[in-house]
Structure 1
Amino acid sequence: MTPLRLSPDLDAAALARAFAAGGQRLHIPGILMAGDADAVEAVLAAERRWKTTVAAGGTFLELPLDGRLAEDPARQAWLDEAAVDGSSPLTQYIFDTRRLTAERDHGTTGGDAADAVLDWLNSEAFIAFARTVTGDDRIDLADAQASRYRPGHVLTSHNDVSPGKNRLYGYVLNFSRDWRADWGGNLVFYGDDGHIQHGWAPAFNALNLFVVPTRHAVTQVASFAARDRLSIVGWLRSNTAIGPQSRGNVKSY
């Protein structure tokens, strides 16, 4: 796979000012060269080796899929019955994942454009870009997982703190075209009063970047959504311990 390329049209200095002015939160459209974004979208849209991951309503599981159904038909009922407990304050989620960093660590990568995103996120060019935009020289590496949110999938409120992971910033790279906000799957941020303070609908070839900890969620994808929400998500991390991060709920993968 040809290495992916950061768009040359981006003004890192201007983005840094916007990131600081926006409370260390920023939406960056057109992050990749157009052809590179198309290649990633094509891989995610055609992918069949997803796993559905569930931590909801007291159920905790991760099952391999064959397309959209459980690879083992005897376990399909487990997925059909998975549901969020709306009365629980705990972080809950249901979505499909392909763990790119874990695949790399275990030598099971496919060498496709999704894997190339992980390489790009850890390239000197992107790390330098991320350090400039955030003003944070502690950024050393990125991890990544592809995600697919189908109708009914959701990730409730959390703040991405995970002890020992040294997470500095969360990111979402979106690869869904022509997404409508009323389809759900929106990345929303909460204020201290519990109200939605800000949010972004998925936008093709856009990077959403935000400091950890930040209380946020992915709203449930509507039953009438016309397509799946495709993205690559993860964290920009430090090789050095960054000290305690204590606000909000703790979510660990």
Structure 2
Amino acid sequence: MIAIGLLGPIEIRVDGQAVPVGGPGRRAITAALALERGAVVPVHQLVDSIWPDAPPATAVTKVQGHIWALRRELARAGGCPASGALQTQAPGYRLDAGTARTDLATFTGLTAEAARHPGPDGAATRIGLLQRALELWRGPAFGDVPAPAIQAAAAGLEERRMCALEDLAEALLALRRYDEAVSTMDALVLRQPFRERAWECLMRGHLGGGRPAAALGAYHEIRRLFADELGIVPGQRLRTLAGAIQRDQGR
């Protein structure tokens, strides 16, 4: 079995043995094929993944060379079954989904399964599934592939990662694991300070943990950030939550 790691620097393993991926061009091709695992990726798309602006006249030949080199490394690690996973199929190439798996596909499956266990009764199951999904991340997706097309895909994956963290925090809140939710969201808002859902989870975590002043402090911080950086006020949900805390504090 070929395992391709996309949630961090590109990795390829065959039956647990690391396979050299090569330079930027080969990493970009690996990323493009793995993103479309099971589907044919046209040659022109692979060319664009390496040279988005002005591909050289020899671009197609260079892509063919990268494919040959990847097959050679796969064959060294796992013989013909491994190299055969990288298939030629007009108008391009295809990574066989039955032979190659990716951490991205595993992440997608775990988060989808978590969503099938809604509400307080499913919170413990969601926590376990989401923690397993988030543990797959070794850093920014495609961290060593600077190609613009691949980085555009990476931005979408990062958004999915942030949503999974927020889903985890909400499940923790449902089980009254307030300090864990606060810790999770503290880290998230430091990285993504304009995520209102994360700030709401953070406020609710402080409130559930008996720290209404800290909850209001979090609200004042996002209100300041929004005013200074965006010229707007926080959304209705945050304003309503802050108002409810202030009324309780005034009693």
Provide the TM-score with structure 2 as the length reference.
Answer: 0.22
Structure showing greater radius of gyration is: 2
Q: Which one has more relative contact order, counting CA pairs under 8 Å at least 6 apart?
A: 1
Provide the TM-score with structure 1 as the length reference.
Answer: 0.22
- Which structure has more helix as a fraction of its residues? 2
